[in-house]
Amino acid sequence: MYLECTRGVKMEKLKEKIIQEGTVLSENVLKVDRFLNHQIDPNLMLAIGEEFAERFKEFNINKILTLESSGIAPAVMTGLQMKVPVIFARKRKSLTMVGNLLTAKVFSFTKQEENEISVADKFLAKEDNVLIIDDFLANGQAALALANIVEQAGASVAGIGIVIEKSFQEGSKLLKEKGYHVESLARIQSMENGVISFL
């Protein structure tokens, strides 16, 4: 079942990619490693960046925050369009990450593990108005952790941009209940019996 789900005509490309190249592993798990989170389709990422830039153009955003590694491609393309820097939270600390860190814990339901994510505090300031970008929205834990980091810095979360939302899970509802403005480019209603249907 293939239903209309996005505002922009160019986001038809995203829905087509999900249908043609996505793999439904279960009713809750969608694999998109052919174009988003292992192999990347640069033209699609550019269209995604343009769409996010259009949707958030009135929000006075001056920084974008994402989570390594799958959020980086859409976030960078959005940053390119909006002409603002892109920060990515690290899942593992490296030897070069010295100084004060902003940290939050995030549980991955897909990997069934908890990670502490980190951003150097020098990259976020009280005057920043931050757009959070992530590849998937399911239970909302990654987006909440990123929002927590922004708020630890005293900065503002301008909005949250999601490439693919699994609308049958609670993430979107949870984020909206907390007052965040959420824009999802593709909203999946169901993946029952291996068939993807959109809201």
Q: Is residue 166 part of a domain?
A: yes
- Structural domain of 125: 9-93+100-198
Does residue 71 surpass a pLDDT of 90? yes
Q: How many helices (H) and strands (E) does the chain have?
A: 5, 10
pLDDT at residue 98, rounded to an integer: 65
Mean pLDDT of 138-150: 96
Q: Is residue 141 part of a domain?
A: yes
Over its C-alpha atoms, the chain yields an Rg (Å, rounded) of 16
* All residues at 6 or more sequence positions from 16 whose CB lies less than 8 Å from its CB, including other chains: none
Does residue 95 surpass a pLDDT of 70? no
Computed over every residue of the chain, the mean pLDDT equals 91
Which CATH number fits the domain that encloses residue 70? Answer: 3.40.50.2020
Terminal C-alpha separation, the chain: 10
Q: Is residue 1 part of a domain?
A: no
Domain count for the chain = 1
